[in-house]
């Protein structure tokens, strides 16, 4: 079964098994989150009522957004579990207002136009900060099917969901290890909504750490959460086939995530947040039948990635010029031999494993923007796009002047395997690797540049 077939088939019911049996969150009912387009009039009214009551009655709308402002992790391996717990706590509080409320999700890949209901309904419209004249859809090269396929091409959680602070793995505020889902499709929607002028001529809330003030945040992150759940069962394979953080050390799984809404505490560990079924909900695209079987995950990751680092000279990307960074230390043939050595399998000449890049920026554009990344295509320019076989994805920057935890220094991941295979890289042993970064949607000006200081190529054989 392909990932597209999996996502579209509501009749196939996969239960995401618990990583840590016995630590499930107790629930009185099993909930199914629905796509916005599937909501009934009553369900839209319930959403609108929740927003209105949190703004006017219990006065929790801004305090809940402040939680995100003060403690949200971006750019590290807590990004996905923290936001799963956060929107789950929001949903639990919302049910104190409407007992049958279930948070919907916005499938912006299938429906990239901004949802009109958020500009039409009373409380939703009141809280939404976006230009009412927004007519264009979200960019397909950032949130479309190909962008998701690139993100889903990895089996490594630290590439898909982010890596830790090497000095303090429990650091929630580390922001130099963003995974491909966060820095690409997730960031693309924040940019799409937030860059459009909101009311009173200010940027939209989605550009800032107070993004939850805009109700579109909640349905956006519900979709990000759905994509993480889908990644776990991508192509029908169970999560045990993925490469997860080393849970034996406990730095990731035992991290405590705490939220207080209207004087009520909602507490989780990361280990509680690795199965939507354990938390009492699923998504309509997966089906709603819960299976009893439990799959245990590996307790230890025994194979460490091999890494080669290039210090980049003159790695300046501007609106007027692209930058190509050539990795000169090894060729495709050397990578094949390297894969065989690491995997200890002399017969494994056709499966070189995964290759991805960690890109260190010493400076990012002041006003935010997008860099398109191409593999072994130094001629790529602003006319090149997602249909080019060398396209490896996009890096989305939030504006530094509006927050969202992006500072001048930033590190992010780009998954290269799919593009390398599409360009027949492994059939050309004499060819090395080069990455071309093309500025897109970046305003011109002295600080509208991205400066690359280091490029690290990692390779890891995958089971």
Bridge partners, residue 267, by sequence: 258
What does the mean pLDDT of the chain come to? 78
List alpha helices for 121-186, DSSP H.
122-127, 140-143, 145-151, 157-160, 180-181
d(CA 280, CA 25): 7
Joined together, the tokens standing for residue 37 give 């387009």
Q: Where are the alpha helices (DSSP H) in 284-437?
A: 332-343, 417-422
* Mean pLDDT, range 162-191, rounded to an integer: 90
- DSSP SS3 for 240: helix
What's the chain's length in residues?
A: 463
Span 335-347, pLDDT tens digits: 555 544 444 444 4
Choose between 82 and 135: higher pLDDT: 82
Per-residue pLDDT band for 56 (boundaries 50, 70, 90) equals: very high
Residue 58 has pLDDT above 90, yes or no: yes
Retrieve residue 228's tokens. Answer: 């993480």
Residue 285 is classified by DSSP as: G
Given a cut of 60, whether residue 299 has pLDDT beyond it is no
Q: Look at residue 62 and give its three-state secondary structure.
A: helix
Residue 232 confidence (pLDDT) = 79
SS3 content of the chain, % helix, strand, coil (to 5): 35, 20, 45
- Which of 21-30, 261-270, 290-299, 414-423 has the largest mean confidence? 261-270
Q: For residue 298, is it left (φ>0), alpha (ψ between -120 and 50) or beta?
A: beta
Per the model's pLDDT, the better-predicted residue between 431 and 274 turns out to be 274
pLDDT category at 302 given cuts 50, 70, 90 is very low
> Residue 5 — left, alpha, or beta (φ > 0 → left; ψ -120 to 50 → alpha)?
alpha
CA distances (Å), 30 to each of 249, 278, 283, in order?
32, 10, 11
Residues 101-109, mean pLDDT to the nearest whole number: 98
Sheet containing strand 410-415, strands side by side: 306-317, 450-460, 354-363, 410-415
H or E segment at 65?
helix 61-71
Res. 174: pLDDT tops 90: no
Distance CA 53, CA 47 (A): 10
- Gap between the terminal Cα atoms of the chain: 18
Determine the pLDDT at residue 182: 95
Q: Are strands 31-33 and 281-283 parallel, antiparallel or unpaired?
A: parallel
Is the pLDDT higher at 363 or at 384?
384
Query: What is the structure's pLDDT at 456?
Result: 82
Element (H, E) at 457: strand 450-460
Q: Tell me whether strands 323-327 and 354-363 are parallel, antiparallel or unpaired.
A: unpaired
pLDDT tens for 238-251 read: 455 556 675 555 67
Is the pLDDT at 286 greater than 50? The verdict is: yes
Domains present along the chain, CATH in parentheses:
3-286 (1.10.1280.10), 306-460 (2.60.120)
Average pLDDT value for residue range 371-390: 89
Measured distance CA(406)–CA(255) in Å, rounded: 23
Cβ-contact 14, 155 below 8 angstroms:
no
Rounded to 5 degrees, φ, ψ at 265 are -90, 135
Which of the four pLDDT bands, split at 50, 70 and 90, describes residue 185? very high
Beta bridge mates, 32: 282
């Amino acid at each position: 079964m392909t990932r597209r077939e999996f996502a579209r088939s509501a009749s196939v019911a996969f239960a995401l098994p618990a990583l840590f049996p016995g630590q499930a969150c107790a629930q009185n009912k099993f909930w199914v989150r629905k796509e916005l387009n599937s909501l009934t009039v009553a369900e839209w009214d319930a959403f609108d009522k929740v927003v209105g009551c949190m703004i006017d009655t219990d006065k929790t709308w801004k305090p809940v957004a402040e939680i995100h402002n003060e403690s949200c992790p971006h750019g590290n391996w807590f990004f996905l579990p923290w936001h799963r717990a956060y929107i789950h706590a929001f949903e639990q509080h919302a049910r104190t207002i409407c007992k049958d409320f279930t948070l919907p999700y916005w499938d912006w890949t299938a429906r990239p136009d901004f949802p009109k209901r958020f500009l039409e309904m009373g409380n939703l419209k009141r809280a939404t900060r976006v230009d009412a004249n927004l007519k264009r859809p979200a960019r397909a090269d950032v949130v479309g099917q190909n962008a998701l396929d690139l993100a889903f091409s990895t089996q490594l959680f630290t590439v898909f969901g982010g890596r830790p602070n090497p000095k303090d793995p429990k650091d929630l505020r580390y922001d130099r290890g963003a995974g491909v889902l966060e820095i690409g499709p997730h960031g693309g929607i924040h940019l799409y909504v937030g860059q459009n002028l909101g009311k009173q001529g200010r940027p939209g809330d989605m550009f800032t750490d107070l993004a939850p003030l805009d109700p579109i945040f909640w349905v956006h992150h519900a979709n990000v959460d759905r994509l993480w759940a889908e990644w776990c069962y991508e192509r029908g394979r169970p999560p045990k086939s993925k490469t997860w953080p080393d849970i034996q050390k406990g730095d990731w799984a035992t991290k405590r995530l705490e939220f207080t809404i209207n004087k009520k505490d909602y507490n989780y560990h990361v280990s509680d947040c690795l199965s939507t079924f354990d938390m009492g909900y699923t998504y309509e695209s997966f089906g709603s039948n819960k299976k009893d079987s439990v799959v245990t995950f590996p307790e230890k990751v025994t194979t460490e990635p091999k890494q080669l680092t290039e210090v980049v000279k003159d790695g300046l990307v501007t609106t007027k010029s692209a930058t190509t960074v050539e990795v000169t230390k090894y060729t495709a043939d050397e990578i094949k031999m390297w894969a065989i050595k690491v995997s200890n399998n002399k017969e494994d000449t056709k499966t070189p494993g995964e290759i991805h890049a960690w890109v260190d920026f010493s400076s990012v554009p002041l006003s935010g923007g997008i860099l398109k990344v191409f593999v072994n295509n130094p001629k790529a320019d602003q006319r090149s796009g997602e249909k080019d076989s060398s396209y490896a994805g996009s890096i989305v920057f939030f504006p530094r002047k509006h927050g969202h935890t992006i500072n001048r220094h930033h590190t992010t991941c780009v998954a290269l395997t799919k593009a390398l295979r599409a360009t027949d890289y492994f059939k050309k042993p004499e060819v090395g690797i080069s990455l071309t970064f093309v500025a897109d949607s970046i305003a011109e000006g002295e600080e509208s540049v991205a400066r690359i200081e280091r490029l690290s190529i990692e390779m890891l054989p995958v089971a």
